[in-house]
Chains A and B, each alone.
Chain A
């Protein structure tokens, strides 16, 4: 075992982690621990753009952006946070440009902007050009630019260090975060990092679903680690399905394709979004478009031999526009479906894409331990966090914005905290839970296989907890997930080596996924309304009287629980659901129409 001491430890090197590192690294001794090489992070898969009311091509202002974000999130958004994000968006984009990001340009040489779903002029009048972009590679450019600037500022990375636990030290005022424990993938060695502040920027958990735009490595590690410590997760039932995944594969095709004029069509060639969102049609928010697509397919108007997808028509845009503004998705379609979007429409269907919920934080990125109090020294930002700027449904581009605005804020807050505080002692033997978890997996001789449990998990989540949900389907999912958790107790791995044991890694990841799937499903069962990305067929309307509030899910861990020490068993512990009020400043909830 090795021991390290840093002022600030950042976990994760996607957009949020590296944006935090650029701030923190210049003020405090900072280490970035990352499961992947930084440039492998899934921020790089984001395509369409990053919204900011620059008003470079038409009139716009941050208040309209705030309103769109709140309405897009079906009024579950914390409005103070949304206002900060929309205001700071402008500087966030300009900062990236100054760091070198190669945005597409207007004829005057300014940053160009394109239309995106749910982003409108003057509170819903028409779609507005707000998304700053670099072709359909905006996420790639953000990831590269942030990594480049981390190199410039000599940020210290620990690549392929898989963080498996945080250290919480109990004090008279509650728990304080004092470090993190990581497994070095190259050697199998355990490393304990003592720190004054820890920032979690670990990304999402799309791999609970079968059809997803998410990378194999997006297994909710950070969320699950925090949850296992008895800290809450917020609004986990709100999961976004991106309307345009390549049919059958789930590979993302940017909403920017519709921003540039692409049209969704059913089997008769009808532009069906005109029926669902008469004003902004194909540029309605993602939850509405995904439901419309699912409805078209259910009602027999789907395309293809099994009538199980719809078509994204880009043929009228012409080769030149596709080449200049949408080159990557054009290539994805050619490579993976053998379909050239210049010539024919592309088969698409909703794909699991983004977690609106996550680790609850305040606007400084401080992690909450309940509805009011923070865990000193612990921060979170990006998809793993829930501020909540996305509420019940995130608008397109707001995730790239979120990682830049709140990544920066968390980095600054963590560094300032570190400068103002002394090291607090680590808890006794902080490595024990991780060592016990690894040892248990290594020693298991049970007959269960990681891949089979994972496949069954993903199948039940796709079938029972996706775009449309009912009490029955969700209870089926809960039953399945709980049965799979029991089976997971008997999971065995084949690789018992130390070095690059990715067999072990996948088993650990599966444990995290199972944990989070249960939280998602339980929250969804309990939320007897339809709001944003959570659409209940047995409760079809929004219920502001009973459910205009955030769900807070806690894992119940009793002090005498012997499994607590191992951090591994206890997988079947009960979950307690509680609530947190929504912050409403400017906008009272209204009916959501587009």
Chain B
């Protein structure tokens, strides 16, 4: 483990240095952020851990800490992020061994008790090829998503006005409409880790979203796809996906509902 020396924030001589980091905010504590690094253009062939000491407020998100590292300590750190409040799905990563969005985990929930020093470990999500640091290749994930025909399939003439749908029918698939395609579920799944060809929870969630939509007529087709070797039957009901979902989707239940629909061919 290498530990680069970090400039002490807010020391007097830093005031005239335009590149100095900002002073540590009042009420902050120093935590260690231990990051799994990998640079395909760097000297190390293999991924390695690197630690940074960062001032953190209890209300900070893990994303704030990553930004502090990138902006003031090591500009080469690479990760994806955009909205910073849990709706764009860019920043899924393994935080202390659990898949989370970095923008939805608050430091206060990670602080070690009893005034002990806190170390937070951050790794890329598992099961997808690592491109650089915390950035993984998302293409296999989106390929599985595309494979389940994630769009409304209808036949016949379109109505002039909207299709009618009762609130109860709308509620039937509400949970799975919340998916933001962050891949936290799929990359928490032990089956996906060992068998990358498995569609994975997110693809099944998005199939569910249409299979149980009363307006849709593509359920049979999708069920056939999911009945495949790499489909729903691979699921071992470990519930990792449900625990990982930052949107609170009952992922395992959705998979079970698809399995049931397959068994009885009735949605």
Chain A residues with a Cβ under 8 A of chain B: 36-37, 39-42, 44-45, 93-94, 97-100, 102-105, 107-111, 134, 137, 140-141, 144, 148-149, 151-152, 186, 215-217, 251, 328, 331-332, 335-336, 447-452, 455, 487, 492-495, 497-503
Q: Are A109 and B164 in contact (CB under 8 A)?
A: yes
Q: Is B81 an interface residue (CB 8 A)?
A: yes
A252 to chain B, nearest CB (A): 8
Contact among B40, B138, B146, B170 for A151, CB-based, below 8 A: B146
Contacting residues of chain B (9-30) with chain A, CB-CB under 8 angstroms:
17-20, 22
Please give the distance in Å from A459's CB to the nearest CB on chain B.
Answer: 11
The residue from A39, A108, A328, A450 contacting B181, defined by CB atoms under 8 A apart? A39
**B-to-A contact residues, CB < 8 Å:** 17-20, 22, 39-42, 59, 70-72, 74-76, 78-90, 104, 106, 131-133, 135, 138, 142, 146, 150-152, 154, 158-159, 161-167, 170, 173-174, 177-181, 210, 213, 215-216, 248
Query: What are the residues of chain A within 8 A of B248 when measuring CB–CB?
Result: 331
List 13 A-B residue pairs with CB atoms under 8 Å apart, sorted by A's residue number. A36-B88, A98-B152, A98-B158, A110-B162, A137-B177, A137-B178, A151-B151, A216-B82, A331-B248, A332-B86, A494-B76, A500-B78, A500-B132
Given contacts A102-B173, A494-B76, A502-B79, 16 further A-B contacts (CB under 8 A): A37-B138, A40-B83, A44-B83, A98-B163, A102-B213, A104-B170, A105-B166, A109-B166, A141-B177, A151-B146, A186-B131, A332-B85, A335-B104, A452-B20, A494-B74, A503-B70
Contacts of B179 on A, CB cut-off 8 Å? Answer: 144
Closest beta carbon of chain A to B182's beta carbon, Å:
9
Complex Cα gap A376–B154 (Å): 38
Q: Which of B75, B170, B210, B216 has the most CB of A within 10 A?
A: B75
In the bound complex, do residue A39 and residue B19 qualify as a contact, i.e. CB atoms below 8 Å apart? no
A-B Cβ contacts below 8 A, count: 158
Q: Is the CB of A134 within 8 A of B177?
A: yes
Q: Is the beta-carbon distance between A148 and B180 smaller than 8 angstroms? A: no
Give the residues in chain A near B216, CB-CB below 8 Å. Answer: 100
Task: Report yes or no: B213 in contact with A447, Cβ–Cβ below 8 A.
Answer: no
User: In this complex, what residue of A is CB-closest to B248?
Assistant: A331
Bound Cα distance from A134 to B135, whole angstroms:
32
Question: Out of A100, A186, A332, which one reaches B152, CB within 8 Å?
Answer: A100
Question: A102-B213, A110-B162, A450-B71 given as contacts; is B82 within 8 A of A36 (CB)?
Answer: yes
A39 touches B88 (CB 8 A): yes
Residues of A within 8 A of B89 (CB): 39-40
- Flag if A451 contacts B180 (CB, 8 Å): no
Structural contact, B71 and A335, CB atoms closer than 8 A: no
A331: B residues at CB distance < 8 A: 248
> Given A39-B89, A105-B165, A152-B151, is A499 in contact with B132 using a C-beta cutoff of 8 Å?
yes
Measured in the bound complex, the distance between the Cα atoms of B173 and A134 in whole Å is 13
